[in-house]
Amino acid sequence: MEQEKLNTFIRLLQKVQKQPNRTFDLGLIVKEPKSKMSSVKILEEIKKIATIEKITYDKLSVDEDVIENLVNIFEKDKWVFLEIKKDIGSPLLNQLKHLANYNSFQLIDYKEKDVFEMKMPKNSRLIVFAERDFIENKITYTHFYRLFGPTLSL
Amino acid sequence: MNPEKFRYKSPEEIREEEIEAKIKEKGPEGEISGGIVFEEEIDSETQEKKKYIYIGNPYEERPIITKLETGASQEEIEAIKKEIIPMKESFEILEAMARTYKHRQPLLIEAPTAIGKTYLADKFTELLYGRGVKPLDFYCSGQTDVSELMAKWVPKVETEEEKKKWNEFLKSTEAQIEISKIAQEAEQKEKLSQEQKLALIHTKLQELAKSAGLSEKTQWRFQYGAVPKAMGTIRNPDGSFSFDEQKGMGFTLHIEEVGLAEPQVINTLLKLRGKRGQLAEEIQLWENGGKKVKSGPKFWAFFSTNPPEEYLARNEVDPALARGVVFKRMGELSEESLHLAADYYFTYKLSEKPEEKPEGCILDIYNHPEIGGEISKVVSAFHNDLNKELKKGEKGRQQKIPLTLDDMARVADALIDEQIRDKKTGRLDLAESLKKLIHFYYLDRLADQDLKETMTANFEELLNGDTGKIEFEGEVRTRKEIFDILVERASQAKEEKEETPEETEKKKAKEALRDLTEFQDFFEKDLEDLGKDVEDVCKFEGK
């Protein structure tokens, strides 16, 4: 594994806050077609640097449950490794965009609040993992790459 | 006699001129510092002291100035202003927002990614309500469901297994068609009261559940979507939100990427069209038996989208939607604005500077605007070139990824503490540090290897080549040479500043000794020359 590249990716994800809102970036790890790296192996490597939990978003996942999982993990000040295996549904996309723009969730009628807002803890980060072919051919949201700051291609 | 020469100005006219002068105010270096003006005034009707903001485009000779009431304090307004790069395009957008907000007109801005639509919607909301207040955001995509925008019935389920079954069922096309049929049926039963319509909806939903093999005893909960929520939202003093469908004040709703919305979503958004080009005063939700939600006085809808050429498939803004809103189309950021933005990022004007030098920082470049100014010239030129290429699309990638100002912001932020030391001088190697960050944030993302190689060579040429050379202090130099000179000066000044009194004394003594030695050398040489001259004269006389 290109350890140095991964270290730089993590370091910049940890440190860089964009002016002027001081927001952190969401990170993207793209698995290239020829790569033999598995998400498990990458996750193991990241675990050496950060406390992270994995969420898999696949055909069995319900957007609202994934969002709840994200909220719960962030409440514990941890990082999230979100592996995407199906096209992103509108509720999850809304929250990913909100996290990318403001580092916060904004949910309507959630946890008994008309508008629920929760700031991503300053020590938490979100890394999305997906395969290149999947992003290019299955993700219908045409601005997917723009959700992220650092992108690591492995 | 010309009567205009003797015309007295009314107090209103004098006041208008005062505000206009503040809007057009410029800083000591000619930079725009107006555009937004805060004033506290006594309301003529209630005699209450109220806070207002005036917004106008300072680039205009005769700007149209809009006055809006604000919940923000003067300090907050000043802080928000500092976070807005005073580009011409930013003020065009803010001016359009202020004017349409004042007249309760929906606004749609179609503009490229980098122009800052989302950011300015965010700042405009802060200008109205105070720091940290965000608009209600809704992002459209091909997957957007109408019910998320308007309203939906949600089954109350207990177990995870039940929840999964229900979710699968409700996501199916069949269920969605059936649910919309139920709402239509309720709409058509004109003679039924609202309560009767609600009862009908409940019965139909239970029948639907039974037909799908789910429990018909399931209770249903009505959930409003983003549009009615924004219409009837009340922003409480503690910053939380509550909702009153009849008496809510309303809030700002930003619907993003409306160009990606499917026709059924657009049809739903058309419900927001009211009389005389304004926003609708109320909407009726058939999903809830025809109950009406009133639009509060502070409700305002702002739509944004990227130009169709930025999408894979050309999604023109729906003509019906375009007719129902104030539609503003904007082009690319001008090179002048791009450079201004780069200057703001690399001279670190937009946010607080680190109090202490962070780890990894060799030279505190955030305290040296002369260095930032030179970096901004290089980065904005490179950004502009690469963006032009990316707009054409890349080989090996279907999605187009045009650059945004965030890319620059990232490089600027990382440059504070991702610095490389020059092994010869021990000082910051600015050109090398910048090169590394440009690679990481701009070039490593490229799928097109040919483009990557070309842009790498272009950046190298910009730093070290002849084409990148510019005149600097009377001499034509490469950018790297300029960086080195500026870094050397800043480092020397810093080294001097950091000296202890003993070190300064030692240095002074050293310098004095050096001067003395130089004088001695000069004197000895002079004496030697004099000796030779005397010798020559003696030889001559002797001759």
For residue A144, give both structure tokens. 């997917």
- Cα(A152)–Cα(B292) distance, rounded to whole angstroms? 49
Bridge partners of residue B255, in order along the sequence: B138, B303
Can you give the C-alpha Rg of chain B in angstroms? 33
My answer on whether B126 and B193 are in the same domain is: no
DSSP string, B366-422: GG-HHHHHHHHHHHHHHHHHHHHHHHT--TT-SS-----HHHHHHHHHHHHH---B-
My answer on whether B124 and B218 are in the same domain is: no
Contact call for residues A8 and A48 (beta carbons, < 8 A): no
Pick from B55, B232, B224, B98: which is nearest to B151 by CA? Answer: B224
Burial A89-112 (b: 16+ CB within 10 A, else e): bbbbbbbbbbbbbbbebbbbbbee
State how far Cα B398 lies from the chain centre: 26
Q: What pLDDT does B156 receive?
A: 78
The partner residue sitting opposite B311, judged by closest CB among A8, A142, A146, is A142
- Which chain B residue shows the shortest CA-CA distance from A140? B142
Where a domain ends, among B194, B224, B254? B224
The partner residue sitting opposite A20, judged by closest CB among B83, B225, B241, is B83
Contact call for residues B122 and A106 (beta carbons, < 8 A): no
For residue B412, give both structure tokens. 């600027």
- Residue B139 located in a structural domain: no
Distances (CA, A) of B516 to A12, B10, B439, B530: 52, 75, 51, 20
My answer on whether B27 and B90 are in the same domain is: yes
In this structure, the strands spanning A113-119 and B49-55 are unpaired
For the stretch A48-99, pLDDT in tens is: 888 999 999 998 888 889 999 999 999 999 999 999 999 999 899 999 999 9
Domain that holds residue B9: 3-96+116-133
- Cα(B180)–Cα(B193) distance, rounded to whole angstroms? 20
For residue B185, give both structure tokens. 């049926």
- Residue B140 located in a structural domain: no
Where a domain ends, among B133, B161, B181? B133
- Cα(B133)–Cα(B140) distance, rounded to whole angstroms? 22
Task: Identify how many contiguous H helices and E strands chain A contains and give both numbers.
Answer: 5, 9
Contact call for residues A67 and A59 (beta carbons, < 8 A): no
Contact A25 B414 (CB under 8 A): no
The larger pLDDT score, comparing residue A146 to residue B158, is at: A146
In this structure, the strands spanning A126-131 and A151-153 are unpaired
My answer on whether B200 and B73 are in the same domain is: no
User: Three-class SS of residue B27?
Assistant: coil
My answer on whether B363 and B491 are in the same domain is: yes
In CATH, what number is assigned to the domain containing residue B433?
1.10.8
- Cα(B112)–Cα(B403) distance, rounded to whole angstroms? 10
For residue B508, give both structure tokens. 């002074």
Pick from A2, A41, A10: which is nearest to A27 by CA? Answer: A10
My answer on whether B357 and B479 are in the same domain is: yes
| ipTM for the whole complex | 0.88
Hey, how many other C-beta atoms are within 10 angstroms of the C-beta on B392? 9
- Cα(A79)–Cα(A58) distance, rounded to whole angstroms? 20
Q: What pLDDT does A1 receive?
A: 55
Helix (H) or strand (E) holding B23: helix B11-23
What is the DSSP secondary structure assignment for residue B441, as one 8-state letter? I
Contact call for residues B195 and B289 (beta carbons, < 8 A): yes
Can you give the C-alpha Rg of chain A in angstroms? 15
Residue B204, min C-alpha distance to chain A (Å): 24
Q: What pLDDT does B499 receive?
A: 62
Instruction: Please tell me if residue B242 touches chain A, with a CB cutoff of 8 Å.
Output: yes
CB pairs under 8 A between A and B: 127
Q: What pLDDT does B423 receive?
A: 93
- Residue B300 located in a structural domain: no
Report the residue of B145, B413, B415, B419 to disrupt the A interface, i.e. the one with the largest count of A CBs within 10 Å: B413
The partner residue sitting opposite B136, judged by closest CB among A21, A109, A115, is A115
The partner residue sitting opposite A17, judged by closest CB among B164, B399, B413, is B413
- Residue B241 located in a structural domain: no
Task: Identify how many contiguous H helices and E strands chain B contains and give both numbers.
Answer: 18, 16
Contact A141 B136 (CB under 8 A): no
- Residue B265 located in a structural domain: no
- Cα(A94)–Cα(A64) distance, rounded to whole angstroms? 11
My answer on whether B155 and B32 are in the same domain is: no
User: Three-class SS of residue A104?
Assistant: strand
Helix (H) or strand (E) holding B97: helix B88-102
Interface of B with A in 477-516 (CB under 8 A): none
- Residue B51 located in a structural domain: yes
Residue B386, min C-alpha distance to chain A (Å): 16
CA-based max dimension of chain A: 47
Question: pLDDT 10s per residue in chain B (543 long)?
Answer: 565 667 888 888 999 999 999 999 998 888 899 999 999 998 888 888 999 999 999 999 999 999 999 999 999 999 999 999 999 999 999 999 999 999 999 999 999 888 889 999 999 999 999 998 999 999 988 888 888 888 888 887 777 777 777 777 777 777 777 877 887 787 777 777 777 777 887 788 788 877 877 777 777 788 889 999 999 999 888 888 888 888 899 999 999 999 888 888 898 899 999 988 999 999 888 777 677 899 999 999 999 998 877 665 556 788 888 888 999 999 989 999 999 999 999 999 987 888 889 989 999 999 999 999 999 999 999 999 998 888 777 776 777 677 889 999 999 999 999 999 999 999 999 999 999 999 988 998 888 889 999 999 999 999 999 988 999 999 999 999 999 999 999 998 776 666 667 766 776 777 777 777 777 777 777 777 777 777 777 776 654
The 3-class secondary structure across B296-314, one letter per residue, is CCCCEEEEEECCHHHCCCC
My answer on whether B422 and B388 are in the same domain is: yes
For residue B543, give both structure tokens. 């001759």
My answer on whether B202 and B80 are in the same domain is: no
Measured between beta carbons, the chain B residues lying within 8 angstroms of A107 are: none
My answer on whether B88 and B177 are in the same domain is: no
Distances (CA, A) of B482 to A22, B364, B461: 30, 17, 14
B532 contact partners, CB below 8 Å, separation of at least 6:
none
- Cα(B118)–Cα(B137) distance, rounded to whole angstroms? 9
Strand order in the sheet with A27-31: A52-57, A79-84, A126-131, A27-31, A151-153
Q: Give how many domains chain B has, as a whole number.
A: 3
Report the residue of A8, A10, A16 to disrupt the B interface, i.e. the one with the largest count of B CBs within 10 Å: A16
My answer on whether B480 and B380 are in the same domain is: yes
- Cα(A147)–Cα(A48) distance, rounded to whole angstroms? 25
Pick from B341, B463, B383: which is nearest to B90 by CA? Answer: B341
The partner residue sitting opposite A16, judged by closest CB among B143, B167, B413, is B413
What is the DSSP secondary structure assignment for residue B275, as one 8-state letter? G
Contact call for residues A119 and A21 (beta carbons, < 8 A): no
Question: A27 in the Ramachandran plot: left (φ > 0), alpha (ψ -120 to 50) or beta?
Answer: beta
Measured between beta carbons, the chain A residues lying within 8 angstroms of B417 are: 15
Burial B429-441 (b: 16+ CB within 10 A, else e): bbbebbbbbbebb
Q: What pLDDT does B541 receive?
A: 63
My answer on whether B24 and B84 are in the same domain is: yes
Contact A15 B113 (CB under 8 A): no
For residue B191, give both structure tokens. 């003679």
Contact B401 A145 (CB under 8 A): yes
Report the residue of B310, B375, B445, B446 to disrupt the A interface, i.e. the one with the largest count of A CBs within 10 Å: B445
Any idea of the CA torsion for B517, B520, B524, B529, to the nearest 10 degrees? 100
Measured between beta carbons, the chain A residues lying within 8 angstroms of B311 are: 142
Contact call for residues B183 and B172 (beta carbons, < 8 A): no
For residue B430, the one-letter residue type is: L
Pick from A149, A141, A99: which is nearest to B406 by CA? Answer: A149
Residue A49, min C-alpha distance to chain B (Å): 18
Instruction: Please tell me if residue B394 touches chain A, with a CB cutoff of 8 Å.
Output: no
- Cα(A149)–Cα(B410) distance, rounded to whole angstroms? 8
- Residue B434 located in a structural domain: yes
- Residue B77 located in a structural domain: yes
Domains in chain A, start-ordered, CATH in brackets? Answer: 31-153 (3.40.50)
